[in-house]
Structures are given as C-alpha cells and as structure tokens.
Copies of this chain bind each other. A is one copy, B any other.
Amino acid sequence: MSNTLTADPSAPIKKNYLTGLKEAIFEEMEANPNMVCMGEDIGILGGAFGVTEGLQEKYGSQRVIDMPISEACIIGAAVGMALNGKTVLCEMQFIDFISCGFDQIVNMMATYHYRTAGEVSMPIVIRGPAGAYSGGALYHSQMNESWFLNSPGIKVVCPCTPSDAKGLMRAALRDPDPVLFYEIKNLYRLGKIEEEVGGADAIIPLGKARIARKGHDLTIATYGQNVYHCLDAAGVLSTEGIEVEVIDLRSLKPLDMATIQASVAKTNRFLAVNEAPMTCGFAGELVARVTDTCFEHLDAPPARLTRMDTPVPWAKALELHVLPSIEDIVREARRLVKY
C-alpha cells in the first residue's frame, strides 16, 4: 500500500463505504432477477447520497422504482411484492423518515411470517442513512433502531467499514427475514476507512461481531461510527496502560452474545456505547444481557454511554454535548477499570 504516484496494478483497490453498499446492491440486482428496489428519488436522481446512482439506467424503472413521498406505501408495497415472490430493497431517504412508515413495518412486515405460521417470509431490506455527529439536527441524525429491536420480527444491522457494508448488505439481501439496515452517512465517503471490499461473493453473515481491537482490561461493545470513537479512545487509554477490547457488533439482531461473553470473561468489565437515546436503547439491552450472562465475571458494574435522552440538536456544541465523545469514553473506561 505504497503512497507513490506510480500506480501498482497489483495493489489492492481500496473502496469507500458507499461503494461497498453500491457494489452489493448492483451485484445482487444482477444475480437475483426477482429483486426490486423502491424509494424516493432512487432512480432518476440515483438517491440523495448516490447509493443507487446508475441503478435505474441499468435495471430499468420497473425494477428500480422512483416512489412518491409515501413511506408507508413504500413499505406496504414492498410487503406485497415479497408476498408475491420478490426480494425488495427499500430506501428511506434518511432513516429518520422511517417513522412515517412505522405501522407498516412493525405491524405488517415484521409480523407476516409469524402470523402465517411460516407460510410467507419477507425478504425485505430497509436501508437508509443514519447517525448524528453531522449537524443534521433532529430529523437527519437519528439512530432509532430501538423501536425496531422492541418489535419482534425484524433483524437490525449497522456496518461501519466498507467491507462490512458490502458483506452485510449482501447477507441482508439474501436473508429470508426483514432486515433494517442502518447506514452511517458520515462514513459514506470517509477516505481514511477505505479498504478492499471483496468481490461478488463477499458476504458477512448476520449475527457475527468483529473484534476491532484486542484488549484485556475492559470490553466495549459498540456499532456504527462510535466504533471509531471507541478505537480512538482505546488509543488514548493504551498510552495509560489500559488495554480496551473493542467489539464492533455489526448486527444487533441477531446478536453475537458469544463474542461479548468471551470478551467479558477475559476483561471482567463491560461498557456499551451507542448514539441512540439512553432509555430503552440498545446499550441498556447489552448491559442487561451482560448482567444476566456474565454476572460472576464482573468486577465493575456493566455501564453504558449513550446519547442523553434528548433529540439531536443542530448547533454543533449542543449536538456534541448530548452525544458520547471520545473524552466521555476515555473517562468512563478509566472509571470502570479503576472501579
């Protein structure tokens, strides 16, 4: 990975997160003639962020549908297509707008397989740009995964690397169950995380966490852009002799408890970090599960660091105030290790 100007043709090609997603979507559209994409502005425009750029030109406006601004209908129609044999990828222009299709998700799509005692499964992926730390304010910053984690029948995924974006998107599109796919918009084109993303067979199974950094003093479980905050914090802590193990969950449901447990058995301390509001958020869920399954291993109370129970405000200082920061993670890690 030399940095010289003469390109090495055999050098691995590094791609960004958005390209990872895009490749999975294009390759699955190619491989699966029964796949349909729906969303607002995904065709002519190619999506607000360009994730589906070129897709309609290639696969036509019947399979890549520019929908009216009707989130409930997008989901409902996807359910109908799935009922009639299609695999459907739905875009929410921002994941925040998913609230407008909420009923169709939790009461129609999520329950279909259950209600029909397995007659009808719902191979639907709902994807959309998510996450704060970007000045998007209340309606362009949400991480609202908790709503869906408390609604039985929905899998939830959140990759933070280009190869995971590709591999998990492919796995989601091949999964028979509905998957909510949280894309971190701040990572879409982030140069420093570019990497090889694998070919048309790259797949990362849902439910397998990734150890992003090894350590033995504290286990941090996190996902999305907080993975990078935690890694940065781990770097700082390492200079103090504290070695943190950072687990990138990648998939929240199904959840890789085995990896978490093995880590906590080693570190005896646990911290969950995420950017959703605290109450009834997934960080609390992780604390409850660790408490339940690792109690005897714990030398400190399992803790969580989350967004405060507030919306995401606009002004930068306010936004950062309510979100977990690298400093917050460092401080909390120190507290737990010293406990």
Identify the 7 closest CB pairs spanning chains A and B, nearest first.
A295-B301, A284-B288, A99-B103, A102-B102, A287-B288, A146-B150, A149-B280
Q: Is the CB of A280 within 8 A of B146?
A: yes
Shortest beta-carbon distance from A79 to chain B in Å: 15
Q: Is the CB of A147 within 8 A of B149?
A: no
A289 and B300 CA atoms in complex are apart in Å by: 14
Contacts of A146 in B (CB 8 A): 146-147, 150, 280
A287 and B304 CA atoms in complex are apart in Å by: 12
| Beta-carbon nearest neighbor of A97 in chain B | B103
A279 at the B interface (CB under 8 A):
yes
A291 and B284 CA atoms in complex are apart in Å by: 10
Q: Is the CB of A114 within 8 A of B310?
A: yes
A284 touches which of B96, B280, B295, B309 (Cβ 8 Å): B280
A138 and B279 CA atoms in complex are apart in Å by: 25
* Interface residues in A298-323 (C-beta closer than 8 Å to B): 300-304, 309-311, 313
| Beta-carbon nearest neighbor of A289 in chain B | B284
Q: Is the CB of A280 within 8 A of B277?
A: no
A279 and B212 CA atoms in complex are apart in Å by: 25
Contacts of A292 in B (CB 8 A): 287, 301, 303-304
Contacts of A276 in B (CB 8 A): 150
A139 at the B interface (CB under 8 A):
yes
Shortest beta-carbon distance from A135 to chain B in Å: 16
Shortest beta-carbon distance from A145 to chain B in Å: 8
Contacts of A313 in B (CB 8 A): 114
* Interface residues in A198-232 (C-beta closer than 8 Å to B): none
A106 and B150 CA atoms in complex are apart in Å by: 16
* Interface residues in A256-297 (C-beta closer than 8 Å to B): 276-277, 279-285, 287-289, 291-292, 295
Would you give 30 A-B contacts (Cβ < 8 Å), ordered by A?
Answer: A99-B103, A99-B107, A102-B102, A111-B311, A114-B138, A114-B313, A115-B311, A146-B147, A146-B280, A147-B150, A149-B280, A150-B276, A150-B279, A150-B280, A150-B281, A151-B277, A152-B277, A152-B311, A153-B311, A253-B279, A280-B284, A284-B284, A287-B287, A287-B291, A288-B288, A288-B302, A291-B301, A292-B301, A292-B303, A295-B300
A315 and B107 CA atoms in complex are apart in Å by: 18
A107 and B115 CA atoms in complex are apart in Å by: 30
| Beta-carbon nearest neighbor of A293 in chain B | B301
A153 and B311 CA atoms in complex are apart in Å by: 8
